[in-house]
Structures are given as C-alpha cells and as structure tokens.
Amino acid sequence: MTRMIFVNLPVADLPKAMAFYEAIGFTNEPRFTDETAACMVLSEAIHVMLLTHAKWQTFTTRPICPAGSSEVSLAVSCESKDEVNRLIEIAGTHGGTADINPPEDHGFMLQRSFADPDGHVWEPMWMDPAVAGGDAHVSEAEASA
C-alpha cells in the first residue's frame, strides 16, 4: 500500500485558499469539503486539508503561528525546471508570494519557494532523474554549491 500524506493547514479565508491551490494544480475533493475545511488533492498520495482557524482549533490547543513565521516548509517534486518556474509564477499571480527564499540552482537540482496567501511555505523542486535515482555520483563540492 502506498502511504499517503495529509498536510493540515490553517487558513484565514477558505474560498481564497481553495482558489489559490486550484490555480497551482490541486483539485478539490468535495467528499471531504464543507464550509470549515477543504481537501485539496495534488496526487494519489498527497492531500492538503485547508482548515478555517475555528476548525483548526478543534484539533489542537496550540496557537496558530503568527504571520511572517514559518512552521514548516513543504517541498514537492516537479517534472522539470520549467514546471518549477511556472509554479512560482502562478503562485505569485494568484495571491501567494514568490521566491520568499533565494532560488537555489545547482545544475542537477533547482529549488524555489513561495508562500501561499496564509504564509505557508512551499518549495517546488526539480532534480535530474539520474541524480535522484542514484545513477550518477554528485561530489560533495557539487552538492554544497
């Protein structure tokens, strides 16, 4: 059985957050969506639960991180450098903030980042399949470049 990940994120404006995630390629799963939460699907294995602040607070007594802080950075693989760049552009034009961290292009790997409208950090990344699959050796100097 393939393991699935459900990332739960508190959001201030559920319809706005849903529109943002749809713009960057997620689809809504209506069976798990109501006025307090939306299940947004990226793949068979990756789901993001967008939860209103009130709904979030039914799961934990811990406070929601204040604006401008980072609780987690979510890296997701892309099929090409072009897809990484396209996601950053789409995020920036649909209410997110593009390149909140400096882009990292190591030749064999490209990583960029954006924040969604609620400040959750995503890092679309591409890695050369030969490197990702272990078919090529990356020297320590290349890896830290």
Asked if pLDDT for residue 80 goes beyond 50, the answer is yes
Burial class (CB in 10 A: 0-12, 13-18, 19+), 25: middle
User: Strand, coil or helix: what is 20?
Assistant: helix
Of 9, 113, 21, 123, nearest to 64 (Cα)?
A: 9
pLDDT-based confidence at 132, cuts 50/70/90? Answer: confident
pLDDT attached to residue 71: 82
CB 128 within 8 A of CB 80: no
**pTM score:** 0.84
Asked if pLDDT for residue 1 goes beyond 90, the answer is no
Question: Considering the chain, what is the average pLDDT of its residues?
Answer: 91
Q: Which domains does the chain have, with CATH numbers?
A: 1-61 (3.10.180.10), 70-145 (3.10.180.10)
Of 115, 119, 86, 110, nearest to 99 (Cα)?
A: 115
Digit-coded pLDDT (tens) for 13-30:
999 999 999 999 999 999
Cα angle 117, 92, 94; round to 5: 60
Asked if pLDDT for residue 137 goes beyond 80, the answer is no
Asked if pLDDT for residue 140 goes beyond 90, the answer is no
CB 117 within 8 A of CB 96: yes
pLDDT attached to residue 134: 56
pLDDT attached to residue 69: 87
Query: H-type helices in the chain, by residue range?
Result: 14-23, 53-56, 81-93, 129-132, 140-144
pLDDT-based confidence at 139, cuts 50/70/90? Answer: very low
Top-confidence residue, 141 or 21: 21
